Amino acid sequence: MPEISLRRARSIIRKTLEAGRERDLKPLSVVVLDTGGHVKAFEREDGAAPGRFAIAEGKAYGAVMLGMSGTAQMQRAEAQAYFMAAVNGAYQGKVIPVPGGVLVRDAKGAIVGAVGVTGDTSDNDLAAAIAGIEGTGLTADG
Amino acid sequence: MPEISLRRARSIIRKTLEAGRERDLKPLSVVVLDTGGHVKAFEREDGAAPGRFAIAEGKAYGAVMLGMSGTAQMQRAEAQAYFMAAVNGAYQGKVIPVPGGVLVRDAKGAIVGAVGVTGDTSDNDLAAAIAGIEGTGLTADG
Amino acid sequence: MPEISLRRARSIIRKTLEAGRERDLKPLSVVVLDTGGHVKAFEREDGAAPGRFAIAEGKAYGAVMLGMSGTAQMQRAEAQAYFMAAVNGAYQGKVIPVPGGVLVRDAKGAIVGAVGVTGDTSDNDLAAAIAGIEGTGLTADG
Amino acid sequence: MPEISLRRARSIIRKTLEAGRERDLKPLSVVVLDTGGHVKAFEREDGAAPGRFAIAEGKAYGAVMLGMSGTAQMQRAEAQAYFMAAVNGAYQGKVIPVPGGVLVRDAKGAIVGAVGVTGDTSDNDLAAAIAGIEGTGLTADG
């Protein structure tokens, strides 16, 4: 399975934060996970609340573990709330099923990791994540 | 208490995966638990998301621990969400109350284990599980 | 990163169990994890105690998460017991630092997963795991 | 309370990784925590084992939560193992009491955060952390 490099993870984070500054969003926190759901890189902007790591990780973790974007998880949660609650139990409460958890795919469509962004509204978090991933030449599945 | 053999567990998994391929379903993951809710055998097809073990186990675990199929658990969750949430607390979050968790019974109707299938829609997961169990000469209670 | 296929995982399990039968070992349980520490396949032989999944998983999980075989983990635990205890806290108690947790490498030396075997003595578990991995044409790092 | 900025956290990580490359160490993982023990930034080099985030975090977390470097924690663990085990219980298993967890102080001696490094021997991890912190114009208390 292809795997995201640190160089690319770093690039995604920088471009996501730049997208946040251009859009005048609140301070963002951005995590990049590998295909096993393990942290590759993370940054939290000055002024962001201290607990943002767990929220960013939770958005990306659900995406990679279920193979399903945060937007798709939210739709499932809205249709069948107890199902996503139960999934979260099975994953020890690590899943945050809202937009901003984004699968990262390479040119062939293979999943190479996931990005989680938090700090502004979920929709703005998602827009920044997509800008960061696409700015690095990868495909965002948000 | 009758107990499912490894030979039969392996056969259920193979026939469930074959049923998935015949129906052109997404990559499936299949677990077989014994009557105590403990894992006997598991396989995750190539291309399935990494977190599928916990979902498959959660479907089968709820079935065997409550003596109630995933379909019956879902009906209970829809009628009385707080009840299934409370059950999940008691079981440390290990229950996934949707179709695809199936009790396995022998010719006399005794429970000999449970199967959990995940990867496609819950209804397709259930259909594959039933095909796998019945193809092995046992009775599916889904 | 290369990733172990279900076909190969299945082959490792079969050959490990065959090695156990040839050596007249007690009933074995064998898990294969992918490079993220997630379960790919598992089988527990008839007569093995019900809780063997967690032991097999714990041996393989420590190997893949730390990039260190069970034998190396045991040496570290014997030299510095509080360190492995602390590692286990960080991994929520999922690490079993004894022989029988084996890294699986491909022809280029890249880690493609890990195997965990339990049921007999740790040394016999390790011997069966090595036989299973090498019998499948992969390299065991035990 | 003074607080480490993202710009400085990023600089510490870069200089720690550079120090690792100069010394030809194994792939490193580096975390920077703030004065509340919360993640500010993290990077895991290519080739490092997937579970390294928890180890890096555990080294830095113990340092900041106890106000005591990893080296001092190790001495305490060797003198009184049950004490560090009890501390770890109180901190939910998040403390790794070995060298490589380093307090970061400003020019006035105030703690502004902590760094955790893992990947090579504990002593080499510590040397890289000190190089990274001092290279950024801050004081390392390792």
Q: Which residues contact C38 (CB under 8 A, 6 or more apart)?
A: A36, A37, B44, B50, B51, B53
Q: Kindly state the greatest CA–CA separation across chain A.
A: 39
In this prediction, residue B74 carries a pLDDT of 95
* Chain A residue with the nearest C-alpha to that of C38: A36
- Quick one: closest CA in C to D50, which residue? C65
Under the banding of pLDDT at 50, 70 and 90, the label for residue D1 is low
User: CA of D118 to nearest chain A CA: how many angstroms apart?
Assistant: 14
Q: Which residue has the tokens 């107890």?
A: A82
As a whole-number percent, the residues of chain B with pLDDT over 70 amount to 99
Residue B1, pLDDT > 80, answer no
Assess if CATH 3.40.50.720 describes domain C8-141. Answer: no
Q: How far apart are alpha carbons B121 and A80 in whole angstroms?
A: 13
Q: What CATH number does domain A6-141 carry, 3.30.450.150, 1.10.3720.10, 3.20.20.140, 3.20.20.190?
A: 3.30.450.150
Percent of all residues in chain D with a pLDDT value above 70, rounded to a whole number? 99
Asked if the C-beta of A35 comes within 8 angstroms of chain C's C-beta atoms, the answer is: yes
pLDDT at A42 over 80: yes
Contact D49 C66 (CB under 8 A): yes
Cβ of D75 under 8 Å from any chain A Cβ? no
The DSSP string of A36-104 is TS-EEEEEE-TTS-TTHHHHHHHHHHHHHHHT--HHHHHHHHHH-HHHHHHHHHHTTT----STTEEEE
The answer to whether B110 contacts chain A (CB < 8 Å) is: no
Q: Which residues contact A18 (CB under 8 A, 6 or more apart)?
A: A131, A132, A135
Instruction: Please say if the pLDDT value at position D31 is more than 70.
Output: yes
Whether residue B6 and residue C45 make contact (CB cut-off 8 A), yes or no, is: yes
- For C36, which residue in chain A has the nearest alpha carbon? A36
Question: Does B have 3 or more CB contacts under 8 Å with D?
Answer: no
Structure tokens belonging to residue B60: 């089968």
List, for chain C, all residue ranges whose pLDDT scores fall below the cut of 70: 1
Instruction: Verify whether the Cβ–Cβ distance C35 to A2 is below 8 Å.
Output: no
Residues in chain D: 142
Q: What is the ipTM of this complex?
A: 0.94
Dump pLDDT digits (tens) for A95-115.
999 999 999 999 999 999 999
**Phi and psi angles of residue C112, each rounded to the nearest 5 degrees, phi first:** -115, 0
Minimal Cβ distance to C36: which of A2, A37, A92: A37
Instruction: Name the residue among C1, C37, C92 with its Cβ closest to that of A1.
Output: C1
Q: Does C80 touch chain D (CB under 8 A)?
A: yes
B36 touches chain C (CB under 8 A): yes
Mean pLDDT, residues A58-80: 96
In DSSP notation, C74-121 reads: HHHHHH-HHHHHHHHHHTTT----STTEEEEE-TTS-EEEEEEEESS-
Q: What is the DSSP string of D110-128?
A: -EEEEEEEESS-HHHHHHH
Q: Which chain A residues are within 8 Å of C36, Cβ to Cβ?
A: 34-38
pLDDT attached to residue A3: 83
The pLDDT score that the predictor gives to residue D3 is 84
